[in-house]
Every structure is written in structure tokens, then in C-alpha cells.
Chains A and B, each alone.
Chain A
């Protein structure tokens, strides 16, 4: 009897012991490798963006670890990090599921168990906020490639750098676009009287990122003289957005603005279609509006929808390196580079440059190198002037040379839905479709 009884308790004890260091999964880095911990959402509502980020980061590591003379990039000239005796970049991916608590735990694991030299991630601003706090505490460098809440670089952290522009820049771009539209600057569209687009309605998901985006939309709407009639927050995990959509449509908006992750962006558009919404303009704050799933799931329904982004495959027409890397990416995944994958790629590329400049894996050397680094714009797949981080003022660690673009989904001659650049107006690759034709 006792034997049976004790065996039950042993199960619990064994599980407890399984938590000891002996059985803990660990990562032993070979000396000729530099390990970087990468924390992305690989499951959950933003999994598709997470996978895009992962593929982009993997492609950059592949280029950094091999000589690819045909690419006009410093990191393609050497196999590995030259100043570290050719050490190869090794990426260890972790899945945070969009959960800040899990993200913080994973960061500790990467830092203390896997002994990574630094962290890259995390897409969700809320997770990045939690992870950056852990990195700051342990004095481990973190490069953020894809989170856009402005607050992240306003915390006075000394171990955090962000390559992507933030929503302050992107939201201002939107209102500059609207202003240009009323001044007749948009390609292929006559000047649209401001009064015609005066009433706006916005819906943003309600975590750190969406809340910040919502606040910025309110701020710039007031600044540029638009009437934001409705500005609501909703849960990205919602299974039904009917009441939110009806609430937005009740104010008869001319323009509808969104900040959504993948699953909710798709649901939002489907609900708009079901409600026969017909605003003159729909704009998404990147993220869900820019994932391949958004495009493939909704197909022609999104023709005319605008999204801010930092990358469009069309860039390849005006920037050779973007086209070359896009081809490599397409070969690897079957898709064009997207905003997410381009930013994941740029994140790893920045890590390579920082390590090359540091010539050491010591945190202090990496910190000094990150603060001094300058990557020229011509080396990047994204349309930025380059990467140079601020070291003083209100924002610490923010890339000063980033910029955004606004794309519009249009049908090409082959009948495919593609993202054309419509802003900045001087970079426009197609005539703007205005007004939005409806669903």
C-alpha cells in the first residue's frame, strides 16, 4: 500500500527536482560563436508577425556569417564578425506569446542561463518594456527592432537602443499625408478639400502600443485641426468587434484609423465589410495591417487600404540593396520582405555592426560601440537615412535617422494585391486610390 502511496508523491518530487539546474535546458556557446537572444511572439495573435521577424533576422545572420560579395553591405563582406576573429552570429529564439511576464522570464533565462551577449526583440511594446527593464537591471545590451511606443526610449535606460522610428514619427507622417492630400500633393489625385476628411474615428488595441498610438492620434488630430469624433480602445484578443465597429460608424467618419495586431486587424476589416462601411479613407498603424496573412486572408477587400510601414518591395525599384535582399528572402520563404521581416533583418544587421565596432563581447564595449555607431542608409534595406542613436536629451537610444512611409494596397497588372508607396509623395510608386471604393 505504502509503495503505491509514495509513488504518487514521488511524481511531485521528481517534477520539483526536474526544475533543478541539472535538468535545465541550457545553451553552451562555442568560442567561435556570438549568441544573441531573440524574443518574438511566435504563438498567439501576433504569431505571423513574429515569424516574419524571425525569418528576417535569420536571413541577416546568414548573410553576416557568409561572404556574399554581390551585396553592397559591410556585413556581407566577411564570414562572421571580423573583429572577433570571424566569430559567427548565433540567434537563440524564444516565444513570448505577447505576454510581458513571460518575456521578462525569458530575458532572465537568456541572460543568466544561455549567457547571451545581448537581446533583440520583442515586437509588442508591452513586452519590450518588461524585457528592457530586465536588461537594464543586468546591464545587458538590448537592441529593439520593432516596437514603436515612444515611451520605450524615454525611460533613461543606458542599455537599450531602438532602430525603428516610433509612433510619434509615424502618426505625424499620417497627418502630413492628410495635409498634403488637401494641398494636391498626392500622386494622381486632385486636391481634396480638408472639410471632406474632417471627421475621423480611431480604434486601437489596448496594450502599451495601441494606447500610445491612440494618444498620439488624438494629439496630432488636434494639432492639424481635424475632428476626432471617436477614439476607442479594444482588446486585441476579442472574438467579436461588431460593437466597436458600430460605435465608430455611428459618428459617420470620413477617415478611419487603426492600430491593430494581426488577428484583430483581419477581424476589424471583415466586420467593416459586414457592416457595409464606406469611409473615404482607411489607415492602419502597420503591425497587423502589414502581415502577409492580412493580405492573403482579405485579398481584394483591402485594395485602397493605407498602412504606415518602413518597407515595401517596391523599394527595390529605387534602392538596389532592398531588391537584392528581397530576392534572397523570397527564395527562403516564398514571400516578399514585409515591414516586420525588414525590421528583424535590420535589427540583426545593427547587432553585427555594433559587435564589429566593439571588437569584444564585454557589455561595456558593446554599450560604447552602440552609442557611437553610424550605419549609412545605403547599407540598409529600409528607406532610412541610416542608424545613429541619440545619447542625450529626452530620448536616449533612439535611432535619429529613421523615417516611415505610407503604403496603399493596390492591384497590379497580374491581378496580385501589392503595397504601393504613396507617401512621402516624392517616393510614390503609383497613383493614390482616393476615395476608398468600399468593400
Chain B
């Protein structure tokens, strides 16, 4: 009951924030009711996916200050669990997704224990290493299709299929994911108010001091890491039925880990809205720059250059990301 109260408690935000957040939420709900293109829909689905990935990353990376660059392994575990269970045993998505989350969380406990003995960049490097090892293992594991991966055939599983979450129209996937997006916000909001959330922030600010106050630093990090993993694995399961074609190189690439961290950092790590702002800016920017300046305009590669320049500019102006920039402006206004 108290957890639910915490999840629904946004009273520490200024009213303006809440009004804007409500408008954004209304736009997201209404988006499919307006005329839209398939390209816009695909972009919005990508935005929701990376927002949820980012929310998960933000618990350990933002509130905990532990730079995790190995989230792709959990995308892979979620995606592969769903795909394997569907293809081999015809298990519905609604069963395979929680199983995938459980497996991913279990694995996060196994590697989290030694990982959180490390600090700073050693931890970041170790997360990359574990993710790459898992990817390499999947590439030689015949049971999961090895390097060629798994394919959910539209011939064998014709849409629409609510149990297996296979649809022809993306709008169903969109609303499914939007439900998760709102649930994710509530979970992160609960986390912010929870004892664990406060412990994490204390650890981020001064680990030794936190330990002297009786906080079990190691265990707090492991629990938060597991929470982050559950988020990422759930979206990984979704990725499998949405894309219908998963292979280690595509599903567990380092690019995905970096993008997840990048979006949360650029939006503002350690804030509730940061990952959403980061994904809301970077995903459309990436998609539309490519569309308008890429192959169509004959300026191949210019989209990537512009994308990189924008990221560098934001990072140079405000290391705390977009949310930090807005916060700075707000404080400057107050001090006048």
C-alpha cells in the first residue's frame, strides 16, 4: 500500500512539470488517433523502447552512479527466452516474458556480486566484457540458433495473435509498450521514494559515508542492478515478437548498450524524466536525420555526422544533460 502511494506521489515536482508531463502523456495516448505514417509509428515505438531501457539503466546508472555499459546482454536474454520458448514449445508471450525477466534477474545476481566489487571505470569495462562474453556464447550455442539467430515466421505464426503478441499493425505494439512505459514511470517513481532509492543516492554521493551509516552498499547495488535488468529484459522480450528476427550481432551488440546509456545520460541521469527526454530527442533525431539527409539526399553519412555534433554540443554545454540544462536555467531565473 505504501509502495503504491510512493509510486503515485509526484508532489515533489513543480506544478509546471506535471502539467507538461500530462500533456506529453496525452499526446502519446492520442498519437495513433491522429493521421500518422508507418515511419513515425516505428520511430515512436523505438522511442518508447529506449525510454524504458533508459528508465532501467537510470536506476543503477543515474541514481547509483554506476556506469553500466552491458545492458545489451539482458536485452538478449529477454529476447531469446521469448523466441526460444515460442519456437520450440509454443509458449505464449505472457508466460515467456516473466520467465525471461526471471532468468535475466537471476543472471544479474550471479554477475552482480563480483561486478560490484569493482569501482568506476573498472566496473564499466567489466559490464562491457560480460555482455560481449554472453553475445559470443550465444553465437556458438546451437540451441538458440547460434550466430544465425532465431526467426519467428509470419507463415507459422500468422497475425493477429494476442497470446503470442504477434500483430500486423504496429499500433497494437505501440499501445502495449505505452502501457509498460507508464508502468515504468510509476515503478521508477516508487524507487525514488523507496528506502533503496535513498540508499543508492547516498552511495552515489559518498560511498564510504553511506557505509559508515550502516548501508549494505554491495547488496543495495545488486538489488538495484536486478531492478534495472528486469526493465531491460521485459523490453527485450517485446523486441523478439516485434522484430521477429533476432541474432546475437543485432540484439546484443555493444551499440545497444552504449545507446541506452547515452540516451539516459544526455537526457539527464538520476532524474525521473531524463531517459524519456534523452530518447525523445535522440531517437527522432537519428531516424529523421537519416531519412532526410541520408541515402535519399545522396549525402551518405552526413546524418551520422550531424547526430554526433548535436550530442557533443549538448555534452559540452551541460554534462548533466538536457535535464541539467533546464535545471540550471531554472536556478538562474530564481537567483535573479
Residues of A within 8 A of B (CB): 1-2, 4-6, 8-9, 11-13, 15-26, 42-43, 47, 92-95, 99-101, 104-105, 108-109, 111-113, 126, 129-130, 133, 136-138, 151, 155-157, 206-208, 210-212, 233, 235
Are the C-beta atoms of A133 and B244 separated by less than 8 Å?
Answer: yes
Q: Determine the main DSSP class of B at the interface with A.
A: helix
Closest to A10 in B: B20
- Residues of A within 8 Å of B154, CB to CB, are 133, 136-137
Interface residues as binary, B261-289 with A (CB distance below 8 Å gives 1, 0 otherwise): 00000000000000011001100110010
- Asked if A233 and B294 make an inter-chain contact with CB atoms under 8 angstroms apart, the answer reads no
Interface residues of B in 77-100 (CB under 8 A from A): none
Which 6 pairs between the two chains have the least Cβ-Cβ distance? Answer: A24-B37, A112-B38, A9-B20, A206-B147, A8-B326, A1-B333
Question: Could you list 27 A-B pairs, sorted by A, with CB under 8 Å?
Answer: A2-B16, A6-B16, A9-B17, A12-B24, A15-B280, A16-B44, A19-B40, A19-B47, A19-B284, A22-B35, A25-B288, A42-B294, A47-B300, A92-B296, A108-B38, A109-B39, A130-B243, A130-B245, A133-B151, A133-B245, A136-B154, A138-B168, A155-B151, A155-B155, A207-B147, A207-B148, A211-B146
User: Does B24 contact A20, Cβ atoms closer than 8 Å?
Assistant: no
Partner of B333 from the list A4, A92, A138, A156 (CB cut-off 8 Å) is: A4
On whether the beta carbons of A235 and B249 are closer than 8 Å, the reply is yes
Knowing A8-B325, A16-B24, A207-B247 are in contact, say whether A21-B333 is a contact too (CB < 8 A): no
The answer to whether A109 and B27 have CB atoms under 8 Å apart is no
Does B205 touch A at the CB level, under 8 Å?
no
Contact, CB under 8 Å: A93 / B295 = yes
**Which residue of A12, A47, A155 is within 8 Å of B280 (Cβ)?**
A12
A13 partner, pick from B16, B27, B304, beta carbons under 8 A = B27
Q: Which residues of B contact A (CB under 8 A)?
A: 14, 16-17, 20, 23-24, 27-28, 31, 34-40, 42-44, 47, 139-140, 146-149, 151-155, 159, 168, 170, 243-245, 247, 249-250, 276-277, 280-281, 284-285, 288, 290-292, 294-296, 300-301, 304, 322, 325-326, 329-330, 333-334
Bound form: Cα–Cα A206–B329 in Å: 49
* Nearest CB on A from B170, distance (A): 7
Most buried by A among B14, B249, B291, B325: B249
Say how far B230's CB is from chain A's closest CB, in angstroms.
22
Q: With a CB–CB cut-off of 8 A, which chain B residues contact A235?
A: 249
Q: Is the CB of A210 within 8 A of B147?
A: yes
Closest B residue to A4 by CB, please name it. Answer: B329
B256 to chain A, nearest CB (A): 10
Q: Decide: A20 and B284 in contact? CB cutoff 8 A.
A: no
C-alpha gap A111/B16 in the complex (Å): 41
- CB-nearest residue of chain A to B23: A13
CA of A313 to CA of B168, assembled, Å: 44
Query: Apart from A15-B280, A109-B42, what 7 extra A-B contacts exist at CB < 8 Å?
Result: A5-B17, A6-B20, A104-B243, A129-B151, A133-B154, A137-B168, A235-B249
Which residue of chain A lies nearest to B254 when distances are taken between CB atoms in the complex?
Answer: A237
Q: Identify the interface centre among B24, B42, B170, B244: most chain A CB within 10 Å of its CB.
A: B42
A8-B326, A101-B243 known; A16+B38 contact, CB < 8 A: no
Q: Decide: B36 and A21 in contact? CB cutoff 8 A.
A: yes
Cβ contact within 8 Å between A206 and B35: no
Which A residues lie within 8 Å of B146 (CB)?
A: 211
Smallest CB–CB gap between A42 and chain B, Å? 5
Are B139's CB and A233's CB within 8 A? yes
A20/B243 contact (C-beta < 8 A), A5-B326, A43-B300, A211-B147 known? no
Query: Which of B17, B40, B276, B296 contacts A20 (CB under 8 A)?
Result: B40
- For residue A130, which residues in chain B have a CB less than 8 angstroms away from its CB? 243-245
Nearest chain B residue, comparing its CB with the CB of A8: B326
**Residue contact B39 to A17, C-beta cutoff 8 Å:** no
Distance (Å) between the CB of B277 and the closest chain A CB? 6
For residue A47, which residues in chain B have a CB less than 8 angstroms away from its CB?
A: 300
Closest to B28 in A: A16
Q: How far is the CA of A204 from the CA of B259 in the complex (A)?
A: 28
Are A16 and B245 interface neighbours, CB within 8 A? no
Q: How far is the CA of A29 from the CA of B47 in the complex (A)?
A: 29
Contact B244 A24 (CB under 8 A): no
Contact A208 B37 (CB under 8 A): no
Given A4-B333, A133-B154; A42-B295 close (CB under 8 Å): yes
Which of chain A's residues has its CB closest to B248's CB? A206
Q: What distance in Å separates the Cβ of B110 from its nearest Cβ neighbour in chain A?
A: 25
**A94: min CB distance to chain B, Å:** 6
Docked CA distance A106–B177 (Å): 20
Tell me the minimal C-beta distance from A317 to chain B in angstroms. Answer: 35
Q: Which residues of A contact B301 (CB under 8 A)?
A: 43
Question: Residues of B contacting A94 with CB < 8 Å?
Answer: 295
Query: Cβ of A18: which chain B residues have Cβ within 8 Å of it?
Result: 284, 288
Check A21–B37 contact: CB distance below 8 A. Answer: yes
User: In the complex, which residues of chain B have a beta carbon less than 8 angstroms from the beta carbon of A105?
Assistant: 39, 42
Q: How many angstroms between the C-alpha atoms of A212 and B149 in the bound complex? A: 12
Is B245 a contact partner of A95 (Cβ separation < 8 A)?
Answer: no
Q: Separation in Å of the A110 CB from the closest CB of chain B?
A: 9
Minimum CB–CB distance from B177 to chain A (whole Å) comes to 14
The answer, among A22, A113, A156, for a CB contact under 8 Å with B39, is: A113
A155–B325 CA distance with the chains assembled, in angstroms = 52
Inside 8 A of B294's CB, which chain A residues have their CB?
Answer: 42-43, 95
Q: Which residue of A lies closest to B39 (CB)?
A: A109
Task: Given A16-B24, A19-B284, A24-B37, decide whether A8 and B244 contact each other with a Cβ distance below 8 A.
Answer: no
Please give the distance in Å from A6's CB to the nearest CB on chain B: 6
**Smallest beta-carbon distance A120→chain B, Å:** 14
User: Given A25-B292, A43-B304, A126-B250 in contact, is the A20-B36 Cβ separation under 8 Å?
Assistant: yes
